[in-house]
Amino acid sequence: MNKIFISTLGCAKNLVDSEMMLGTLINNDYTQTGQIMDADIAIVNTCGFIEAAKEESINEILELGQYKKRGKLKYLIVTGCLAQRYSDELLSEIPEIDIVLGTTSFDMILEKINELKSGIKTSLITDIDKHIAEEIPRSLLTDTYSAYIKIAEGCDNLCTYCIIPKLRGKYRSRNQEDILKEARQLAKNGVKELIVIAQDTTKYGLDIYGKKAISDLMRELNKIENLKWIRILYSYPEDVDTEFVKAVKECEKVLPYFDIPIQHANDQILKLMNRKTDKMQIKGNIDRIRKEIPEASIRTSIIVGFPSETQEQFDELCEFVKEVKFDRLGVFAYSREEDTPAALLENQIDEEIKQERKNRLMEIQQGISYEKNKTFVGKSMEVLIEEKIEDGLYEGRSYRDMTEIDGLVFVKSEKKLKKGQFVNVKITDALEYDLTGEII
């Protein structure tokens, strides 16, 4: 009874936790299966960030729970942010669940499975500010050429719409030596693209070194021999400073890809969100990036329909997006989350208005993205091949494209290409979000 099926929901930080659980179990004679019908044990690593994510997590738990009746599944384990937030309710209201593990107790999974075999159902929620042990084995759930590396846990930013600090605890940086050791091992195992993540990568090091150390970390990662691409995610706008931009510019392996969630452009809304920046600073930092690194690709995320957002404030946001012309942009309708300060604010916005504003902003961005993409026609780009679509046609990503959230480059090639291969491509056509090209 040792076949494990694992379902990971939510963000890449959750994915890394799943990889550590899986690595721990595989090191102890368990095997992974991609088929729930074959599984003896199922793990659902949940997300609890917004209402839609909570619903998805509950539905996945209930669906996998059915296999205890119609499959060979014996145990159902629930971990992650939803488990942290609603551990008692999950265990009492969904009888199919055998173990609930919070966000800092997933490293106890082997011990808890062994207890379960003795008939002990359990819920384990450990200290939310606990440091996760180093040296936990990982079994990648991504393709072998690309992997995430988590450089910190938790968050101290206390944005009023966000529940993450209550689910993940205060900001805890990992030691640089431990990160570099893990990165070298990943590179040795064939990883070519290293994706650096945390709730806020730009605050890395403040808690343990007394200064922001993300630029130092970039320079050390850049020295790792077998890595080709290093992509930094979740950079807060107020901390994308001169030193950060300089490090990206000087490190040839660090992609000129800036993931900077601004959330809004109206100063009053930013203040209500408890963001640590304003429109002028955001614009100044973006201008600095483009002056220093003209080819930079800038992605952001925006929340529309935040409590009290007026039509005028939304119009100001739209004008800012038109002016700045982000390369990539994700828009989210505000989700009212219990236990957050924003949930108590007056003048909550109707769902219909939120959706209208989301659609309007995405419509604006679609036009911007198309115009941006057209500027690449006739140019050559390095592309990481990810899938074969049909004979002679492949899909891949350029430095501008983060997996799953950004666009694609469709590559025509008469010679066979492999997943994880880097090729030079001449761009021949542009779509709203994607590019088409031919191998050089």
- Residue-by-residue DSSP string for 156-177: ----TT--HHHHH-S-EEPPHH
Q: Tens place of pLDDT for every residue, the chain, 440 residues? A: 688 989 888 888 888 989 988 888 898 888 888 888 888 888 989 887 677 777 788 888 878 878 788 778 888 888 888 888 888 887 778 888 888 888 888 888 888 888 887 777 777 677 788 888 888 888 888 889 999 999 999 999 989 999 888 888 899 999 999 999 999 999 999 999 999 999 999 999 999 999 999 999 999 999 999 999 999 999 999 999 999 999 999 999 999 999 999 999 999 999 999 999 999 999 999 999 999 999 999 999 999 999 999 999 999 999 999 999 999 999 999 999 888 999 999 899 999 999 999 999 999 999 999 999 999 999 999 999 999 898 889 999 999 999 888 889 999 988 899 999 999 999 999 998 999 999 98
> Residue 102 and residue 128: Cα distance in Å, rounded?
8
> Residue 114 and residue 342: Cα distance in Å, rounded?
42
pLDDT of residue 334: 93
- Each residue of 115-148: pLDDT tens digit? 887 777 777 677 788 888 888 888 888 889 999 9
Q: For tokens 């609603």, what's the residue?
A: 86
Distance (Å) of CA 278 to CA 112, 265, 268, 271: 47, 7, 9, 8
pLDDT of residue 414: 87
Rg, Å, the chain Cα set = 22
Which pair of structure tokens corresponds to residue 193? 């693209």
Answer whether 385's CB lies under 8 Å from 418's CB: yes
pTM of the model: 0.92
> Residue 104 and residue 102: Cα distance in Å, rounded?
6
Which pair of structure tokens corresponds to residue 188? 């040795």
